[in-house]
Structure 1
């Protein structure tokens, strides 16, 4: 989740654990590593909520 641009979805395999900030080579968005990861995790959770069937009352 830290290597994937939350704006365009490009996966940047060139960043390492020591890289705390990076710019997406595809769309140019500047990322702070853990903030970007948090947005990606939030977006995945929201997608899951939209696709899972709801139980009674939900």
Structure 2
């Protein structure tokens, strides 16, 4: 899932396994998925993905 500032990658189970701050790291060199300060953001992005999938299913 890609939005203006973040790129979230999910596994087949729908779990986040990579997160990149594409605004500040456009080359996607630093995966920040394991940083506790991003937990709420990951949850928000996962919900957006789920909503998008339910709209297109």
Do these two structures clear the TM 0.5 threshold for a shared fold by scoring above it? no
Q: Which has the higher contact order (CA 8 A, sep 6+)?
A: 1
The TM-score, its normalising length taken from structure 2, stands at 0.43
The TM-score, its normalising length taken from structure 1, stands at 0.43
Q: Would you tell me which structure has more helix in proportion to its own residues?
A: 2
Higher-Rg structure is: 1
Q: Would you tell me which structure has more strand in proportion to its own residues?
A: 2
